[in-house]
Amino acid sequence: MASKLYEDDDLEGCIAWSRRASSSPATPILFRIKYFILIAFATDDCDDADTWLNSAEEMRKGILPEAVKIEGNTDLLDMLEGLRVEIVEATEMINEQRAFIEQQEPQNSDEDLMHEDDEDDDDDQGEDDNESLEGEPRNKDGA
């Protein structure tokens, strides 16, 4: 259902469904990991996406040692490897999205920021010629 909501571009619905389903104790861990990845894709916040992907990877790593111990368990190991690949690809996509967003934002150099601070200071000083820099009232002589 969450995948269908994502495909239909109902990202809020996808996130809500995935959160509900992943929080259920009855949901198998592999599905929880998939839900976390879906949430990462569906959210518009790169930091949130990173958090979900990190959680998915931690969960995947948490079950890997047990999966390795089970003899002849190639299906589970293959699924865990597939999830690892999905997490890596999702992380790369999120990083590309973050870089694109940062590229679109106007970049202020340190020098520009310093000039803005100077202008702010000048504005504060010019508001009341009867106050000194420390906020003390000036005497009539301007001292």
pLDDT tens column, 106-142? 765 555 555 555 555 555 554 444 444 444 444 445 5
H helices within the chain, ranges in order?
A: 2-7, 11-23, 29-42, 46-69, 74-104, 110-127
User: Which residues form the domain of 32?
Assistant: 2-105
Q: What value does the CA radius of gyration of the chain take, rounded to a whole number of Å?
A: 27
The answer to whether 84 and 31 have CB atoms below 8 angstroms apart is: no
Per the domain annotation, does 117 fall within a domain?
no
Per the domain annotation, does 20 fall within a domain?
yes
Domains identified in the chain, total number: 1
User: What are 73-106's pLDDT values in tens digits?
Assistant: 889 899 999 999 999 999 999 999 999 988 887 7
User: What are 34-61's pLDDT values in tens digits?
Assistant: 999 999 999 989 999 999 999 999 999 9
Per the domain annotation, does 131 fall within a domain?
no
